[in-house]
Amino acid sequence: MKIVVDHDRFEYNGPFDANDLFRMISNFIFEKGFDFKQDKDFEINKPHGKFIEWEISPWKRVTDYVRYIIRVRIVGYDIVKTDANTGRKKTKIDSGRLVITMDGMVEYDYDSYWDDKPILHFLRTIYDKFVFKAYTERFEQRLVHDVNHLHDNIEKLLNLHRHYTTRSRGL
């Protein structure tokens, strides 16, 4: 397994809609053809707001030899429900601090055909580095593009909510 995008991390502090965020990420994953795998999903109610952690690691089988894995981890601190005005409408949205971390990995030989014997493992390494190099670089570039596209979509969604005017804070 080769880590191509390592801890692409950004933080956001302000109003957001958690359901829209999770729905947008899930839709993006399905549009790109990934299979959904959820690792963590929990929330803890604290006196000053909720703590949430949501982690997924969707994967996509590109060929019989290559598989993409994107790990998305969202940690939210001090999340409270607030009333906000969007134009003339009053809505309830979440407000708090989010830390979003994304990793992109390319897994070669995920069925372990080439790992049975040391000589096969050596041949696989030579094959990947020299013979199959143009293909592996192309696979890595595609994965980097997908992770960057997801990052941009999340930032656009969160930037939408920056323009809300908060009316009151509630628990």
Rounded to 5 degrees, φ, ψ at 101 are -125, 135
Q: Which of 51-60, 89-98, 141-150, 159-168 shows the lowest per-residue confidence on average (mean pLDDT)?
A: 159-168
Cα separation, 10 vs 102, in Å, equals: 9
Q: What is the mean pLDDT of the chain?
A: 87
What per-residue confidence (pLDDT) applies to 162?
Answer: 56
Render 7-19 in DSSP notation, one character per residue.
EEEEEEEEEE-HH
The one-character DSSP state at 127 is I
Q: With cut-offs at 50, 70 and 90, classify the pLDDT of residue 163.
A: low
**Which helix (H) or strand (E) element contains residue 125?**
helix 118-126
- In whole angstroms, what is the distance from residue 43 CA to residue 66 CA? 34
pLDDT at 117 over 80: yes
- pTM of the entire predicted model: 0.83
DSSP-assigned letters across all residues of 37-82: -EEEEEEEEETTEEEEEEEE--EEE-SSSEEEEEEEEEEEEEEEEE
* Amino acid, single-letter form, for residue 36: F
The per-residue pLDDT for range 12-52, each reduced to its tens digit, is 998 888 999 999 999 999 999 999 999 999 999 999 999 99
Residue type, 37: K
**In this model, does residue 166 exceed pLDDT 70?**
no
User: What are the pLDDT digits (tens) for 119-146?
Assistant: 888 888 888 788 888 888 898 999 999 9
